[in-house]
Amino acid sequence: MSVYFDHAATTPLLEVSRNAMLGALEVVGNPSSIHSDGRRARQLLEESREQLAASIGCDPIEVIFTGGGTESVNLAIKGIFLAAREAGRKRILAPLGEHHATIDSLNWLEQNEGAIVEWLPLDEFGRVVPSVVEEKLAEFDDWALFTVIWANNEVGTIQPIAELAAIANRFSVPVHADAVSAFKHLSIDFDSSGLAALSISAHKIGGPQGMGALILDRKAVARPLIHGGGQERDLRSGTQNVAGAAAFAAAVASDIPDLRPLRDRLIAGVLEAVPEAVLTGDPVERLDSNAHFLFPGCQGDSLVYLLDERGISASTGSACQAGVPEVSHVLLGMGLDEESASGALRLTLGHSSTAQDVDSLIRVIPEVFEKARKAGLSNRDVGLNS
């Protein structure tokens, strides 16, 4: 197995999660059936819901199981907007630099459902400035929703969610937080957060892919995107994934180590090995699992390929763009130009990361940087001469 630095894309399945899923697969009933097999499946599903609710500080009824973080984000943004539009509220506030699940949902609502999206600027660290949020909310009285990513999936910057939610609540604007990257890395208490909705995913914390949840306040109003049997508070119809829910709950119950010492070792080692490298994102308020750099004169894809040749998996940013190389919209939103942003490398840690992994990366990064920079210079010369 390679040395793995792409835990933000997906982290290895925990053994306890695998065992929970295998055990749950032996339960044959449909949780909507009333016979004993169905009741047994229902019991396992609801026990999993209770475990997840306890871990995030909400009532079990507020946990809506979904097929992943992207679906949760779609259901929150579209569902809340469609309900609010019935009352004449059609404006949505969102920062630049959000995950594509949010951006594409907002673009779809704008193109098809009459939404008006107002985009917030980011500072040079990828932060949302609370005073700017307050000024923007004061401009209009037809807000349907404010949506914001809790911790940026690319550069790792953590937003002041409690402060942002408090501002929005003063204007009676519901807030959705994309917490896919933040869950289990930050302390989250939904009841005291001031949020109306929060999206999470299983495979980012050692659970299975294709499993997620939307935490939706019992007072929040949303419209379903999927219609059928009325499962999950009539917001997500379809036979529930009992085995996935059990595996998700098992991952939630597992401890994630404090990754800050390993992250700091990684950051310090890379900056010492390659003095030209630049750390991006908030230097203090950042995920314990995230180290994101710019390497001047390089293409991020070249860095990824060269590291892969040496048995190290890394990324340039989000894995949710269908493998299409492009300059990060997050970095552009932070004010970087395309040339600078093209040299991005994201290194993310998880429960299986070790000091040996970090040292392996630090040993090869100077050579990788030099080769990527030479390749970048060669490509630029070819472009100038063509």
Q: What mean pLDDT, rounded, does the chain reach?
A: 95
- The residue count of the chain comes to 386
Which of 228, 253, 278 terminates a domain? The answer is 253
Q: What is the share, in percent, of the chain residues with pLDDT greater than 70?
A: 95
Judged against a pLDDT cut of 50, whether residue 382 lies above it is answered with no
99 plus 63 within the same structural domain:
yes
Question: Backbone dihedral region of 114: left (phi > 0), alpha (psi from -120 to 50 degrees) or beta?
Answer: left
Domain boundary among 253, 287, 320: 253
- Residue 117 predicted with pLDDT over 70: yes
358: left (phi over 0), alpha (psi -120 to 50) or beta: alpha
- Any idea which residue has 């307050």 for tokens? 134
pLDDT tens by residue, 315-342: 998 655 545 567 999 999 999 999 999 9
Range of the domain at 213: 15-253
Residue with tokens 């819901």: 49
Are residues 47 and 62 both part of a single domain? Answer: yes
Please say if the pLDDT value at position 136 is more than 80. yes
Same domain as 212, residue 270: no
pLDDT band at residue 13, thresholds of 50, 70 and 90? Answer: very high
3-state secondary structure of 162: helix
Taking residues 293-322, what's their average pLDDT? 89
The residue among 253, 278, 300 that closes a domain is: 253
With 0-12 CB in 10 A as exposed, 13-18 as middle and 19+ as buried, what is 180? buried
Residues 222 and 270 in one domain: no
Same domain, yes or no: 235 and 356: no
* Higher pLDDT, residue 161 or 384: 161
- When pLDDT is averaged across residues 53-68 and rounded to a whole number, the result is 98
Q: How many beta carbons lie within 10 A of that of residue 1, not counting itself?
A: 7
In this structure, what CATH number is given to the domain that contains residue 163? Answer: 3.40.640.10
Count of domains in the chain?
A: 2
360 and 224 in one domain?
no
- 186-224, pLDDT tens digit by residue? 999 999 999 999 999 999 999 999 999 999 999 999 999
Please give the average per-residue pLDDT across 27-55, as a whole number.
97
Do residues 314 and 359 share a domain? yes
Q: Are residues 229 and 375 in the same domain?
A: no
In the chain, count H helices and then E strands: 14, 12
The pLDDT value given to residue 317: 80
Same domain, 248 and 273: no
Catalytic residue among 320, 332, 362, 364: 320
Co-location of 21 and 102 in the same domain? yes
CATH number at residue 368: 3.90.1150.10
Q: Are residues 22 and 145 in the same domain?
A: yes
Tell me, what's the pLDDT at 384? 38
Residue 2: pLDDT band with limits 50, 70, 90: confident
**Is 216 in the same domain as 100?**
yes
Active-site residue, 58 included: no
Helix ranges (DSSP H) in the chain: 15-24, 36-56, 69-85, 100-112, 130-139, 161-170, 190-193, 231-234, 242-253, 260-273, 300-309, 329-333, 338-341, 355-385
Flag whether the pTM goes above 0.85: yes
> Range with the lowest mean pLDDT among 22-26, 286-290, 314-318?
314-318
List, for residues 73-112, the tens digit of each pLDDT value. 999 999 999 999 999 999 999 999 999 999 999 999 999 9
Kindly report the number of other CB atoms within 10 A of residue 377's CB atom.
12
pLDDT at 237 over 90: yes
